[in-house]
Structure 1
Amino acid sequence: MKAIWNNAVVAESNDTVVIENNHYFPADAIKREFFEDSIAGTTCPWKGRASYYSLRVNGELNKDAAWYYPDPKEAAQQIKGRVAFWKGVQIVP
């Protein structure tokens, strides 16, 4: 699977975990040069507290376009160390 935004592949892996129709990519599959830490955070009742990354590609910013669970709850341990995308990031085979 590939995560693409602004004509750049920002993550690529054959090992994604799909939860709630979101592909979670292994952290080592993301191309760090496109990622910036964000101060955003949300809480999911069964997954726990999510942290976010913004994407910067070709001079354009996609704020809070990726998220991850640094310390997921027990029910979501399969996404520990993984990153998912939204806000226009295309996920393609």
Structure 2
Amino acid sequence: MSAHAAEHGDEPTIERPDRTISALGRALARVAPAKLPLLEAERDEVLTLAAETQSVGPVNGFLLRWAVTVEIERPPPGGPPAARSRAPRPDGHGRGNHALRRA
């Protein structure tokens, strides 16, 4: 991982992992272990495709997809993802598509 997991109260904070197959696999094992078999199966397919096509494109796509998955699954500092996304902003409005409502 890019930094060691920092302790925040009793709940460890999972830092954003480096965008490598092994780092994403370790992070996924911590935040969404049920998805690890999917990552491993897709990894094998992607590496085979990359070798057959002599292209790193499939690997780059794989790394991006799983980096996004880990980012969505990892709890942010200060609370669970759902609680933070529903928290009101300091101006009293809720989060979400407030920018779209102004238009």
Work out whether the TM-score is over 0.5: no
Bigger relative contact order (CA 8 A; separation at least 6): 1
Identify the TM-score tier after normalising by the shorter chain.
under 0.3
User: Normalized against structure 2, the TM-score is what?
Assistant: 0.22
The structure with more radius of gyration: 2
Higher helix share: 2
Higher strand share: 1
